[in-house]
Amino acid sequence: MAKRINWTIIVRAIAVILATIVGIKVINYQKAKGNNISQTSIVGNNNPIQETKGNNNVAVSGNHNQIFVSISTLRSDNGMVPDKGVDSLDINSINLYKFQSLWDTNIGFYDGGSRNSYSSLLNMEKSDNPTMKKLASDAVKTIKNAYDGSNINVMVLNIERWGYICRWSVPPCANGYEPSIGYNAKNVFDHLDYKKWQERARAACLLRNVDSTINTHRDQVDKKEFCDKLVNLMGEQEPSLFVSKMALETYKALTGFSSLGVFDFEGAIKDWENPERKEKILKINF
């Protein structure tokens, strides 16, 4: 006997398919026009984090899952609503670049604060459009504040508690990690050019105390090579603002260099390249 066709199920299935198609078209239209919702996916390495602030929702999932940044209401840090003369896609970019540049929200991804994203904001700050210029400028101020003043101490306290720099052992890490003080100076120094940004950042941070007498193997650290590596971490080829900032702070602490701004990497590089200053620095006991 022939089976009866269940038309109810078929009709419902067709309705679901049509709704899905319409939904996809709406989302694509919103993305293309920059209307209300901007969703960006990236890959992270941290444990899942979800954060909601006002109308801006940021959802982060780690280990090879996707990270979604959804921005429903776009405003500058002072609450100014963008005018119609500013492309909404550019405003979405400003919000995303700011998020990518902040170290505290990007410990597991974006290199601990993307230097490229920060550079993009600096370029957008030069816009001829006054609203665009203001939005980018507000974002830059927020980022600078996150890497300045008492926040530097927060950065240091965070990174001192990390592992990442294993003690010398076979197999690696069998003896645990280097402490924040009383470490093997040569081992920490070698990590200044390791692959992971967390290793470079922690090494640059810990080495501000390289002259402590309770650190071992200090005689195996060449002072010129040490400064060369710190300066290299401040160059544009370093992708992490966190790493560059830690290198700058250590360079300041050991050489007496006085920076003119939060991210005065160029000033520090020029300071080291000055023959007279280099000669004086190499005579400092550290």
**pLDDT tens by residue, the chain, 286 residues:** 444 444 444 434 444 344 444 343 333 333 333 333 333 333 333 333 333 334 333 333 333 233 333 333 334 454 544 455 567 778 899 999 999 999 876 555 677 899 999 999 999 999 999 999 999 999 999 999 999 999 999 999 988 888 889 999 888 888 999 999 999 999 999 999 999 999 999 999 999 999 999 999 999 999 999 999 999 999 999 999 999 999 999 999 999 999 999 999 999 999 999 999 999 999 998 8
Which pLDDT belongs to residue 163? 84
Which pLDDT belongs to residue 87? 72
Give the residue from 146, 56, 156, 73 showing the smallest Cα distance to 104.
146
Which pLDDT belongs to residue 215? 97
Q: What is the pTM of this model?
A: 0.71
Distance CA 240, CA 200 (A): 10
For 70, list phi and psi in degrees, rounded to 5: -110, 125
Which pLDDT belongs to residue 86? 64
Which pLDDT belongs to residue 104? 75
Which pLDDT belongs to residue 229? 98
Taking CB atoms within 8 Å and a gap of at least 24, the contacts of 222-229 are 223/282, 223/286, 224/282, 226/189, 227/251, 227/255, 227/272, 227/278, 227/281, 227/282, 228/272, 229/189, 229/192, 229/193
Which residues on neighbouring strands pair with residue 205, listed in sequence order? none
